[in-house]
C-alpha cells in the first residue's frame, strides 16, 4: 500500500464531526418542526404523498397501509412505524386542535388505547389540509428537492396559509434538545397574524390581548395567567393546567365529584394512573371521604365520577386531588423549531413574523406564476382576435401553403415565398403579418367552430378578464398593501369556515390548599409473621390475644399510628415505613407483604431487626456483624424521613448478624460457628456514629464467624439450647472484648 494514500486523522476530531453530523441530521431532518408550516419531515411527506395519490377530502378513504408504504418507498425510508404513528397523531382530535387527516377506523382514544394495525384503518386528507396546506403546490410557490434516492421530487416545505406550529403545537425529542409547543385556538392565532401584518411593531403584550394563551383539545384550566406573557416572550416556561371539576348530587344525600375535562398532559395511560392515585389516597388514609370511583368516559367526552361520603368537605377533597394527583399538572413550554435551517427557540411574535414573511414569499411566487400564465394567455388571445379580423386572408394562406412550416413562417415573418394567393393584394397583406410564434401556433391549432360569432364574443370577453387579472396581479406584486390584503382575505375565509370555540379557560387560580385532617394519636401493635406479612392492630385486641400473637409472629412492636416503623436488614440498609401506610384491621387479618409498602426486597436482603421510631429516639442500638465488628449507635441517628438509608458501614463481604435495642441488658454473649462463646460487659462496646464500621468484638479463627448474639441481665437467669445441650449464659466465664472466648464442647 502506498503511504501517500493514507489520510491521517485525529480520532477525537473524526468522532466529534461524525456525531455532530448525526445530531444535526436528527434535529433538522426528523425530530423538530419547521417554523413555516409547523410540520416535521415525516408529517410533511405523509401529507404530500396523500396529495399525490389523490386522497382528497371529497374522495373515498384509502388504506393506511397503502399510504404508509408509498410514503416510505418514495420519501421517508425510516420504517413504517414512524410514518404510521405520525399519521395516527394527525387524525386524533384529542391531541391536535386541528386534525390534518380524516381517519376511518380505530385510531386510538384519549385513554391511551393504541390505533389498530395500518392494514385495518383508512384515511384521507381533511378539507383544511387540502385548502390551507396543499392548495398552491402547482404554482411554483415552494422549492422542490430530490428525495433520498433522487428518483422523486418533494417539497422542502408546504405552503401553509396558517401558523400551524402554534395552532397544532408540536412535541419532539432530538439530540441534546427537545421541543414542546402547546396547541392554540385557530381564530385567535389568525387574528394575531393579521394584527402583526397591520403593525409589525406590535408587542407581545398587545398580541396577548388577542391570543389568550394555549387552547388544549382536552380543555381544562390554565391557572397561571400572569406568567404567560414571559413564556410567550421568551418561548420557554411552565404552564400550570388543571382539569375541570363539577359537583352533582348523588344517591342518599351523597355528593359526586365529576371530572369533565382533564389536563392535556393526562392523555393516554395517565388517566389510568390518575384513577390508581385516587384509590391510593384512600388506601394511604390521606382521605376517608371516598365511597366509590368510576370512569364513565365515552365518545361524548371525559366523565370520571368520585362518590363522596355525606359529611365530606368537598372543596378540601377537590384541592387534595389537585395537590396529590395529576389533575393539576405542568406543561413545559419550549418553542423550539427549525428556522433558516437551524434550531431556534422563538417567542410568539417571532413565530408570527416568520410565518408572515413566509406567506409574503409564497404569495409573491404564486402571483408571479399566475401573472406569467395570464401574460401567455393574453398573447394567445390577442393573436386569435387579430386572426379573426383577417380570417379570410389566413384561410387563403393556409390553402396556398404546401406545409405547416410554410404557413407558420408567413404568419410570423410575412414570408410569402411558395404560397399561392388569389390576388396580389392578398400577398401584400400577408407579407405584413407579424404574429408571435405562440400566436402562430394557436392560429394553426384553432378549430373552425371558433369562427362562430358567439365564440368570437366569448374570446373577447375572456381577453377582458385576462387583462383584469393581469392588472390585479401586477398590483398585488407591486404593492405590499395589496398583497397583505389578499393574504388577510385568505385568512378570513379559513377562519370563517374552520374556527371553533375556545376550550381551555385562562385564569389566575389560587394554589390548592389542603386542610390536613388531624389524626388522633393512638398506640398500636405492629405484627409481622415469618412469611413477611405485616399489619397493625389496636392495643386492646393485642392484650386479649397476647400469647397467640407472640407465638405466631416473628416481630411484635409497640408503635404510634403517627410514627414510623424502622426495618434493619443484613446488608446494612434501613427502610422506614409510615405506620399509617400499614393495613390496620382485625387480629386474624392476613396483612400485606412488607415488600409492598417499603423499599425492602426479600429477594436481595433479609430482615435482622424491626423497631419503632419512638424506641429509637429513646434508646441506643447495638450492631454486631458476621466478622465480629461491634458498636453502639445512638438511636436518634436513625430518625430519618427518607424511605431508605444506610444504617451502618460494612466491610467487603461482611453482613449484619444482630441489631438490638439497648434497654436493661448488662452483658453481651457472642457465639461463633466453631462453638466459641465470649461474654463481656456491654460497657466495653464503644459508641460510634452510624457511618463507622465499629471495633472487633471477639477474635476469630480462619473461616470462623459470629453466628449468634445473646444478652443477659443482672440477677436474671438466661438459658439457651446449643446442639441439644442446655447452657446457662450467666455461667459462661466472663471475658473481655477482643478475646477468643471459651469453647463449649457438646
Which residues are identified as catalytic?
Answer: 120
Q: What is the dihedral of CA 211, 217, 220, 222, to 10 degrees?
A: -30
Q: Which of 266, 330, 304 is nearest to 94 (CA)?
A: 266
Q: Which residues contact 52 (CB under 8 A, 6 or more apart)?
A: none
Rounded Cα–Cα distance for residues 157 and 136 (Å): 12
Rounded Cα–Cα distance for residues 30 and 40 (Å): 6
Taking the mean position of all CA atoms in its chain, how far away is CA 259? 22
Output phi, psi for 190, to 5 deg: -65, -45
Q: Which residues contact 432 (CB under 8 A, 6 or more apart)?
A: 414
Rounded Cα–Cα distance for residues 511 and 416 (Å): 94
Secondary structure tally for the chain: helices H, strands E:
21, 35
In this structure, are residues 260 and 302 in contact, taking their beta carbons and an 8 Å threshold?
yes
Rounded Cα–Cα distance for residues 398 and 416 (Å): 11
What pairs with residue 567 in β-bridges?
A: 575, 610
Over 206-233, what HEC string results?
Answer: HHCCCCCCCCCCCCCEECEHHHHHHHHH
In this structure, are residues 620 and 687 in contact, taking their beta carbons and an 8 Å threshold?
yes
In this structure, are residues 323 and 287 in contact, taking their beta carbons and an 8 Å threshold?
no
Q: Which of 33, 70, 34, 39 is nearest to 55 (CA)?
A: 70
In this structure, are residues 272 and 219 in contact, taking their beta carbons and an 8 Å threshold?
no
Output phi, psi for 744, to 5 deg: -105, 120
In this structure, are residues 635 and 686 in contact, taking their beta carbons and an 8 Å threshold?
no
Rounded Cα–Cα distance for residues 67 and 326 (Å): 37
- Angle between the N-to-C axes of helices 186-198 and 480-498, in degrees from 0 to 180, rounded to the nearest 10: 170
Q: Which of 417, 441, 442 is nearest to 430 (CA)?
A: 417
Taking the mean position of all CA atoms in its chain, how far away is CA 450? 64
- Using CA atoms, how far residue 393 sits from 382, 399, 453, 561, in Å, is 17, 10, 18, 114
In this structure, are residues 594 and 660 in contact, taking their beta carbons and an 8 Å threshold?
no
In this structure, are residues 189 and 183 in contact, taking their beta carbons and an 8 Å threshold?
no
Taking the mean position of all CA atoms in its chain, how far away is CA 104? 25
Helix (H) or strand (E) holding 411: helix 404-413
Helix (H) or strand (E) holding 438: helix 437-445
Q: Which residues contact 86 (CB under 8 A, 6 or more apart)?
A: 40, 42, 43, 46
Helix (H) or strand (E) holding 629: strand 629-634
In this structure, are residues 297 and 304 in contact, taking their beta carbons and an 8 Å threshold?
yes
What pairs with residue 709 in β-bridges?
A: 670
Q: According to DSSP H, which parts of 452-572 are helical? A: 453-478, 480-498, 539-544, 546-552
> Where does residue 501 rank: exposed (0-12), middle (13-18), buried (19+ CB within 10 A)?
exposed
Rounded Cα–Cα distance for residues 712 and 689 (Å): 25
Region of 532 on the Ramachandran plot (φ > 0 left; ψ -120 to 50 alpha; else beta): left
Amino acid at each position: 500500500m502506498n503511504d501517500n494514500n493514507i489520510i491521517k486523522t485525529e480520532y477525537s476530531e473524526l468522532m466529534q464531526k461524525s456525531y455532530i453530523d448525526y445530531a444535526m441530521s436528527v434535529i433538522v431532518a426528523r425530530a423538530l418542526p419547521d417554523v413555516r408550516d409547523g410540520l416535521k419531515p415525516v408529517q410533511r411527506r405523509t401529507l404530500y404523498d396523500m396529495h399525490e395519490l389523490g386522497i382528497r377530502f371529497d374522495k373515498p378513504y384509502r388504506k393506511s397501509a397503502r399510504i404508509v408504504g408509498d410514503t416510505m418507498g418514495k420519501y421517508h425510508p425510516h420504517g413504517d412505524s414512524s410514518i404510521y404513528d405520525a399519521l395516527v397523531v394527525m387524525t386524533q382530535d384529542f391531541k391536535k386542535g386541528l386534525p390534518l387527516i380524516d381517519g376511518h377506523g380505530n385510531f386510538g382514544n384519549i385513554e391511551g388505547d393504541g390505533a389498530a394495525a395500518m392494514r385495518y384503518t383508512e384515511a384521507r386528507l381533511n378539507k383544511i389540509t387540502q385548502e390551507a396546506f396543499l392548495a398552491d403546490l402547482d404554482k411554483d410557490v415552494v422549492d422542490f428537492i430530490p428525495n433520498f434516492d433522487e428518483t422523486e421530487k418533494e417539497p422542502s416545505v408546504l405552503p401553509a396559509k396558517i401558523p400551524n406550529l402554534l395552532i397544532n403545537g408540536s412535541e419532539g425529542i432530538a439530540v441534546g434538545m427537545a421541543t414542546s409547543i402547546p396547541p392554540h385556538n385557530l381564530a385567535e392565532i389568525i387574528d394575531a397574524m393579521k394584527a402583526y401584518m397591520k403593525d409589525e411593531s406590535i408587542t407581545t403584550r398587545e398580541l396577548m390581548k388577542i391570543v389568550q394563551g394555549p387552547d388544549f383539545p382536552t380543555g381544562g384550566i390554565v391557572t397561571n395567567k400572569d406568567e404567560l406573557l414571559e413564556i410567550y416572550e421568551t418561548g420557554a416556561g411552565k404552564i400550570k393546567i388543571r382539569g375541570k371539576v363539577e359537583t352533582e348530587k348523588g344517591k342518599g344525600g351523597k355528593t359526586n365529584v365529576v371530572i369533565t375535562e382533564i389536563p392535556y398532559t393526562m392523555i393516554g395511560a395517565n388517566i389510568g394512573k390518575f384513577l390508581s392515585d385516587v384509590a391510593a389516597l384512600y388506601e394511604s388514609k390521606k382521605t376517608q371521604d371516598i365511597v366509590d370511583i368510576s370512569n364513565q368516559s365515552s365518545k361524548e367526552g371525559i366523565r370520571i365520577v368520585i362518590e363522596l361520603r355525606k359529611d365530606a368537605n368537598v372543596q378540601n377533597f377537590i384541592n387534595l386531588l389537585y395537590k396529590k394527583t395529576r389533575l393539576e399538572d405542568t406543561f413545559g413550554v419550549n418553542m423550539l423549531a427549525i428556522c433558516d435551517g437551524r434550531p431556534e427557540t422563538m417567542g410568539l411574535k417571532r413565530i408570527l413574523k416568520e410565518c408572515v414573511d413566509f406567506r409574503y414569499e409564497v404569495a409573491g411566487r404564486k402571483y408571479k406564476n399566475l401573472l406569467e400564465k395570464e401574460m401567455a394567455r393574453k398573447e394567445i388571445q390577442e393573436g386569435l382576435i387579430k386572426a379573426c379580423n383577417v380570417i379570410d386572408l389566413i384561410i387563403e394562406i393556409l390553402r396556398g401553403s404546401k406545409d405547416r412550416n410554410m404557413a407558420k413562417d408567413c404568419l410570423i415573418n410575412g414570408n410569402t415565398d411558395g404560397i399561392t394567393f388569389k390576388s396580389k393584394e392578398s400577398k401584400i397583406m400577408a407579407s405584413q403579418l407579424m404574429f408571435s410564434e405562440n400566436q402562430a401556433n394557436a392560429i394553426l391549432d384553432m378549430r373552425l367552430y371558433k369562427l362562430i360569432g358567439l365564440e368570437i364574443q366569448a374570446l373577447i370577453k375572456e381577453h377582458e378578464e385576462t387583462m383584469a387579472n393581469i392588472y390585479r396581479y401586477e398590483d398585488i406584486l407591486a404593492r405590499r398593501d395589496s398583497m397583505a390584503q389578499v393574504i388577510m382575505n385568505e385568512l378570513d375565509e379559513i377562519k370563517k369556515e374552520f374556527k371553533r370555540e375556545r376550550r381551555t379557560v385562562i385564569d389566575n387560580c389560587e394554589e390548592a390548599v389542603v386542610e390536613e385532617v388531624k389524626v388522633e394519636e393512638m398506640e398500636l401493635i405492629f405484627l409481622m409473621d415469618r412469611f413477611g406479612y405485616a399489619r397493625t392492630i389496636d392495643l386492646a385486641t393485642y392484650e386479649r390475644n397476647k400469647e397467640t400473637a407472640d407465638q405466631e409472629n416473628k416481630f411484635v412492636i409497640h408503635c404510634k399510628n403517627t410514627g414510623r416503623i424502622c426495618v434493619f436488614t443484613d446488608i446494612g440498609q434501613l427502610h422506614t415505613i409510615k405506620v399509617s401506610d400499614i393495613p390496620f384491621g382485625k387480629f386474624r387479618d392476613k396483612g400485606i407483604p412488607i415488600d409492598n409498602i417499603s423499599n425492602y426486597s426479600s429477594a436481595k436482603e433479609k430482615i435482622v431487626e424491626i423497631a419503632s421510631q419512638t424506641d429509637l429516639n429513646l434508646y441506643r442500638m447495638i450492631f454486631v456483624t458476621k466478622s465480629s465488628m461491634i458498636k453502639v449507635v445512638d438511636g436518634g441517628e436513625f430518625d430519618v424521613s427518607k424511605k431508605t438509608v444506610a444504617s451502618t458501614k460494612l466491610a467487603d463481604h461482611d453482613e449484619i448478624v444482630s441489631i438490638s435495642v439497648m434497654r436493661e441488658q448488662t452483658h453481651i454473649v457472642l457465639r461463633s460457628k466453631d462453638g466459641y462463646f465470649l461474654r463481656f460487659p456491654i460497657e466495653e462496646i464503644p459508641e460510634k456514629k452510624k457511618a463507622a464500621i465499629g471495633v472487633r468484638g471477639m477474635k476469630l479463627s480462619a473461616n470462623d464467624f459470629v453466628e449468634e448474639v445473646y444478652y443477659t441481665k443482672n440477677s436474671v437467669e438466661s438459658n439457651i439450647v446449643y446442639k441439644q445441650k442446655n447452657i446457662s449464659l450467666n455461667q459462661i466465664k466472663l471475658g473481655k472484648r477482643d478475646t477468643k472466648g471459651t469453647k463449649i464442647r457438646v
